Chains A and B, each alone.
Chain A
Amino acid sequence: MSNLSNLPEIATQIRRDILRMVHAVNSGHPGGSLGCADYLTALYFHYMKHNPEAFEISGNEQDIFVLSNGHISPVYYSALARSGYFPVSELATFRKLNTRLQGHPTTHEGLPGVRVATGSLGQGLSVAVGFALQKKLDNDSSTVWTLTGDGELQEGQIWEAVMFAAHRKVDNLIVAVDFNQKQIDGTTGDVMGITELSSKFQAFGWTVLEMDGNDWDNIHQVIPQAQSQLGQGKPIVIIMKTEMGQGVDFMMGTHAWHGKAPNDEQLEKALNQLPVTTLGDY
């Protein structure tokens, strides 16, 4: 478990990794990855109880994380590598032929840290609920964490899972919604409004918390608050406001960088805003 004071630097390194990974193959999803870098850093380097060296898919007696919005694989892979699941040097293989770091996460190539394939949206929450039920059956008191996009909430399966989790009192589950209000075709408001999100989850019987996912003070306030609500008969959701492209000024405030890689010049400009860390680039 890293010190709280180290987390911002780790997040900066993860952002550098994200940019360099997508730039190297001129493809991938930097926008949402940058927005969620702080949250994944907080989970993998502080809040989750996990043992990267002894990874097994089943994850018994460990906290489990399921990335439902699999397209933000760059941030996921960087967090996994930097927290010890596989060599950091392997980040250089992202999206290349024969890589374990497929465009969207998969168990198929045996990458440690990944427990289920995601990418086709709306499925990860159901899988996370399944893991949570398994833990309950086995009297395993660890927590299941999952992250979904906000555009992803347009998938019907999400609401099937939301209904199911409340009905079954799946209270060992903390879901974060990456509330950046952007998706490929524009703002969520323009594409398909997902208004009154907190009320929607509340109406389904969930405990709802709101958090600024790019504000460390707020992160360290809300995540422990969510953890304190575990085991109380309700699933927990954190509506996590983030900025797509966070950390790179020209990538923020737009959905343009959802699935677009920076060119050489843009990469340099972006990396200049994210100073080299003591961890070093891969």
Chain B
Amino acid sequence: MKSFEILGNKDTRSGFGAGLLEAGKNNPNVVALCADLTGSLMMNDFQDQFPERFFQAGIAEANMMGVAAGLALGGKIPFTGTFANFSTGRVYDQIRQSIAYSDSNVKICASHAGLTLGEDGATHQILEDLGLMKMLPNMVVINPCDYNQTKAATIAIANHHGPVYLRFGRPKWPVFISEDTPFVIGKALMLSEGADVSIFATGHMVWKAIEAGHILAEKGISAEVINIHTIKPLDDDAVLASVLKTRCAVTAEEHQMNGGLGDSIAQLLSRKQPTPLEMVAVNDSFGESGKPEELLVKYGLDTVNIVEAAEKAIARKNG
């Protein structure tokens, strides 16, 4: 199992803020909208640097999505910013009609996703957003794993024409992807090659998957850890190539089991390459208040859960 140096401890939303600023410098057509969460989304630098290209929408997300669609259809590249809950479920029909169906070049950027939002509790901890967004035809869905990858993804989506959902989070989290790692939409990132089990992880759970890989290595199990930052379009080839080698798999995500990354991979495997698969995800439940790490433990999204899932998947393969 390859070792990863921790390069820092930073929130992924700051990666978004830094990426947005850079995207704004790269392209004068990049504009940004925010629904009264500019500080939380780390959009202040963009706002300060490009005040005429920043639109405060107030606490009115539905209108923000429509205005973004109009800006995009007129030729701009709008990035909308609010919490993941208000970026998706609250405005689903606006996204569906004015953005996805209308092929508006809007980048829906969603912070505070998942359990690691923490103390604010279940009203704000959306665990259904990946599923909601991936079901929309024409929508690209991305969930980067650390600060550097979020920054790179933000810059990359500005250069991709079409609607994108970019999901990131609130807490400080280990930074381990190097700054110069290219971000290619739809291309899985091989983190560590292995022979016994494939671990496909997205978002914050990628770091947990790396930790699990080390624990498995101590037990003599060789895990292949792959970072699926793009849930849709899924890198089918990378997934299939890996399971062809390992013949069993685990998925790990900070999302409902229904509709998430695991669901996408299960669908692919059952059609193309039936393989024992274990899913580390929230099992049909809302979250609650607590510290991010406490919540991951309580809801079965900790390192140990990935280790157990890997052992179970291997046992099924060998059984």
Q: Which A residues are within 8 Å of any B CB, using their own CB?
A: 57-60, 64, 66, 106-108, 115-120, 122-135, 137-138, 156-157, 160-161, 163-164, 167-168
Contact = CB atoms under 8 A, between A and B. Distances in A.
Contacts of B103: 107-108
B273 interface: no
Contacts of B250: none
Contact of A131 (B31, B73, B96): B73
Given A58-B74, A58-B75, A161 B66 contact: yes
A137 B98 CA distance: 21
Q: Is the interface of B mostly helix, strand, loop or mixed?
A: helix
Contact of B69 (A116, A132, A157, A160): A116
Contact of A129 (B53, B58, B67, B96): B67
B177 interface: no
Contacts of B64: 126
A135 B70 CA distance: 10
The 5 closest A-B pairs by CB, nearest first: A130-B70, A126-B66, A134-B74, A160-B63, A160-B60
Given A116-B104, A126-B66, A133-B55, A60 B98 contact: no
Given A58-B75, A60-B74, A117-B97, A163 B67 contact: no
B101 A134 contact: no
Nearest to B76: A134
A119 B101 CA distance: 12
A162 to B, nearest CB: 9
A157 B94 contact: yes
Interface in B180-227: none
B137 to A, nearest CB: 9
Nearest to B100: A117
A167 B74 CA distance: 21
Given A125-B66, A130-B69, A133-B70, 15 more contacts: A58-B73, A64-B74, A123-B62, A123-B93, A126-B94, A130-B70, A131-B74, A134-B74, A138-B74, A157-B66, A157-B94, A160-B60, A160-B62, A163-B58, A168-B55
A171 to B, nearest CB: 16
B62 A157 contact: yes
Contacts of A119: 97
Interface residues of B, number: 32
12 contacts: A116-B70, A116-B104, A123-B66, A126-B67, A127-B73, A130-B73, A133-B55, A137-B31, A138-B75, A157-B60, A160-B63, A161-B66
A117 B99 CA distance: 9
Among B31, B63, B69, B94, the one with the most A-chain Cβ atoms within 10 Å of its Cβ is: B63
Given A127-B69, A127-B70, A117 B31 contact: no
Nearest to A56: B75
Contacts of B71: 130-131, 133-134
B70 A134 contact: yes
Nearest to B103: A107
Given A116-B104, A120-B93, A130 B72 contact: yes
A169 to B, nearest CB: 12
A117 B75 CA distance: 16
A129 B104 CA distance: 15
B302 to A, nearest CB: 41
B145 interface: no
Interface string B1-38: 00000000000000000000000000000010000000
Contacts of A115: 73
A113 B266 CA distance: 42
Given A133-B55, A157-B62, A164-B60, A117 B74 contact: no
Interface string B60-97: 10111111111111111010000000000000011011
A115 B58 CA distance: 26
Contacts of A108: 101-103
A161 B76 CA distance: 19
Contact of B102 (A107, A134, A156, A163): A107
B98 A123 contact: yes
A125 B60 CA distance: 14
A58 B101 CA distance: 16
Given A107-B102, A108-B101, A126 B58 contact: no
Interface string B226-247: 0000000000000000000000
Contacts of A163: 58, 60
B62 A60 contact: no
B75 to A, nearest CB: 4
B290 to A, nearest CB: 33
Among A66, A119, A123, the one with the most B-chain Cβ atoms within 10 Å of its Cβ is: A123
Contacts of A161: 63, 66-67
